[in-house]
Structure 1
Amino acid sequence: MASELRFPDGSCDCHVHIYGPYDRFPAQSEGRFSPTQANPVESLFAMWDSIGVSRGVIVHALAAGEDNEVTLDALRRYPERLRAVAILKRDVSDRRLDEMTDAGFKGVRINLLRQDGKPVSSGGMNLDDLKALAPRLAERKWHAQLWIETGDLDALAPELEKLPLDFVIDHMGRTMVDKGIDYPGFQKFCERLKTGRYWVKLSGADRNTRAGAPYADTAVFMTALAQANPDRLVWGTDWPHVGHTPESFPKEADLIDLFSKCAPDEAARRKILVDNPVRLYGF
């Protein structure tokens, strides 16, 4: 069933992944977040066409292959429709960084995600990698996209904020709903959104839920973020939803309807879907 929301022209899906074709871009094993099939950029565009989105941001996935090549290839073929976030090694050359910047990479994704004190996924870039790269990233106006839970963000914020970067927080701060809307880490993050150093992706309801689709238990969190600072919000589907079982696999219509209910003001929705991505990703 299709969503009732009609996206404004220029709407942007700010969190997707692509994989393959595997004969050109072999996938890597990444445990529970490994893709079950190839999902190349053409499949992404078909999904966007079906919901009315015209452009978006590829977050290069560890399982998508080494050296960001599948994402770089997509950016070069579709420069008007795509921007991207990379996974880097700290010894990446300046020449390679300049090449990626010219192609449309705008940030790096840092894996700091823990739940109940345990890492959710191994691999990727860590905080030491970010510290080593931060001066060179800042020169190129890149940001740090943090895969982190809001309580851990609160603990690390004093250290992070010494870096010359802005921060984009994945999946609503990855706060599981049973922690409650008054969870101190989440409340402090809502305050940080007002400082201008942070952005957040209104995505990942299917990751943070305990009740499952249509993710109504996450609505209070998304609504709180939408009210905290609509000038620092972007939205994403997290397509193709790696890591889900067939039983839990999200429907785009459910994710879109949830967003529509949590951001009912049309002017605010336009900021989140169109204007903010232009500022953050340079469309």
Structure 2
Amino acid sequence: MSKPTTGPFEKTAGWLDWYARPTKPRFKLPTGAVDAHCHVFGPGAEFPYAPERKYTPCDASKAQLFALREHLGFARNVVVQATCHGADNRALVDALQASGGKARGVATVKRSVTDNELQALHAAGVRGVRFNFVKRLVDFTPKDELMEIAARIHQLGWHVVIYFEAVDLPELWDFFTRLPTIVVVDHMGRPDVSKPVDGPEFALFLKFMHEHPNVWSKVSCPERLSVTGPKALDGEQNAYRDVVLFARQVVDSFPDRVLWGTDWPHPNLKDHMPDDGLLVDFIPHIAPTAELQKKLLVNNPMRLYWPEEK
């Protein structure tokens, strides 16, 4: 079922729309579970996409996001600003304000953002900013500008979310380790899972986390990393099995500094669009005990995004 884009926008050619009828997960989420990485797109007629965007998605509204949350069994969301909206956070803020306190946000801001604008974002529920270093998605922002933003949001108790690819970690290391905030890495820094889990590339990422206790990681988006894809193994529901060893090692090594999210509505996928119910069933493969599951899905995101309730 194709999802339209409203307003004067035409979807990027070949765009994969989000899965219309996700299955009900077999894995029962712990009470209070948080989907700690998801997005809203538009709707374009109400919240126009940024002129500088690298892609035009289908619309994916707050109502559709919240319906998915209920279907999967999550209690809360962390909505991350999508690059197609640039630094115009209106769609994000609208979703947070409509959530009844069940959502927090990660915004994108520029150096020109005023203190009053930051305070308004905080009041809406924003608790972090995202710095994107994936060159195919965004244009380069000078590191001095990003460092200035990080210093300002640190005063609000916010954190920085960083999105990069594994091959770029060596050149970004010095900048990342100077950030004054908690630093949350999207999707384990996108490791190449066709390489050995004990190889030098992933070892560098683990070293990054070992040496810097302010660094957290999302162990999400196996559909972006997998080569084997959403296939069963020996009759078992073990989708994206080539990602399991990588995510499991991060969860085992840093159980108090990991987060998980669906990444709905899954922007810029080229191979397949994942079933969000199947993604939830991936969780017990990377966090096999009830204790690890509660830390990953409840304790850690609550500590970071709703500290006033802990």
TM-score, structure 2 length as denominator?
Answer: 0.83
In 1: Cα distance, 2:31 partner to 2:141 partner: 34
The reply to whether residue 248 of structure 1 matches residue 269 of structure 2 is: no
Q: Of residues 162, 166, 171 in structure 1, which corresponds to 2:182?
A: 166
Structure 2 unmatched runs, 5+? 1-22, 231-238
Structure 1 unmatched runs, 5+? 114-118
Q: Of residues 152, 175, 186 in structure 1, which corresponds to 2:191?
A: 175
8 A Cα contact 2:87 2:110, kept in partner: no
Deviates more, 1:188-197 or 1:218-227: 188-197
Aligned length: 275
Q: Which string of whole-angstrom CA distances, capped at 9 and with x for unpartnered residues, describes residues 127-162 of structure 1?
A: 333112122111111111000123433442333222
Structure 1 counterpart of 2:256: 231
The reply to whether residue 271 of structure 1 matches residue 295 of structure 2 is: yes
Q: Which string of whole-angstrom CA distances, capped at 9 and with x for unpartnered residues, describes residues 50-80 of structure 1?
A: 1101111110112136520011112122241
- Give the secondary structure class of the aligned counterpart of 2:113: coil
- Give the secondary structure class of the aligned counterpart of 2:89: helix
The reply to whether residue 28 of structure 1 matches residue 53 of structure 2 is: no
- Give the secondary structure class of the aligned counterpart of 2:104: strand
Give the share of equivalent positions with the same residue, in percent: 34
- Residues 57-68 of structure 1: pairs in structure 2 closer than 5 A: 57-64=78-85, 66-68=87-89
Q: Which string of whole-angstrom CA distances, capped at 9 and with x for unpartnered residues, describes residues 166-193 of structure 1?
A: 2100012111212321232322322333
In 2: Cα distance, 1:160 partner to 1:211 partner: 31
> Over the residues paired in the alignment, what is the CA RMSD in angstroms?
1.9
In 1: Cα distance, 2:87 partner to 2:205 partner: 32
- Give the secondary structure class of the aligned counterpart of 1:67: coil
8 A Cα contact 1:150 1:174, kept in partner: yes
- Give the secondary structure class of the aligned counterpart of 1:225: helix
Please tell me whether Structure 1 or Structure 2 has the larger radius of gyration of its CA atoms.
Answer: 2
Deviates more, 1:255-264 or 1:231-240: 255-264
Deviates more, 1:92-101 or 1:161-170: 161-170
Q: Of residues 184, 200, 204 in structure 1, which corresponds to 2:217?
A: 200
- Residues 96-175 of structure 1: pairs in structure 2 closer than 5 A: 96-113=117-134, 119-123=135-139, 127-175=143-191
Structure 2 counterpart of 1:13: 35
In 2: Cα distance, 1:255 partner to 1:184 partner: 28
Provide closer, same or farther for how the CA distance between residues 28 and 91 of structure 1 changes in structure 2, counting only shifts above 3 A: closer
- Give the secondary structure class of the aligned counterpart of 2:26: coil
How many angstroms does 1:126 deviate by?
5.5
In 1: Cα distance, 2:142 partner to 2:41 partner: 23
Which amino acid letter does the alignment assign opposite residue 225 of structure 2?
N
In 1: Cα distance, 2:195 partner to 2:99 partner: 41
8 A Cα contact 2:87 2:107, kept in partner: no
In 2: Cα distance, 1:151 partner to 1:166 partner: 22
TM-score, structure 1 length as denominator?
Answer: 0.90
Structure 2 counterpart of 1:45: 66
8 A Cα contact 2:39 2:79, kept in partner: yes
In 1: Cα distance, 2:31 partner to 2:196 partner: 35
More helix by share: 1
Provide closer, same or farther for how the CA distance between residues 262 and 163 of structure 1 changes in structure 2, counting only shifts above 3 A: closer
8 A Cα contact 1:154 1:185, kept in partner: no
8 A Cα contact 2:41 2:59, kept in partner: yes
Provide closer, same or farther for how the CA distance between residues 148 and 97 of structure 1 changes in structure 2, counting only shifts above 3 A: same
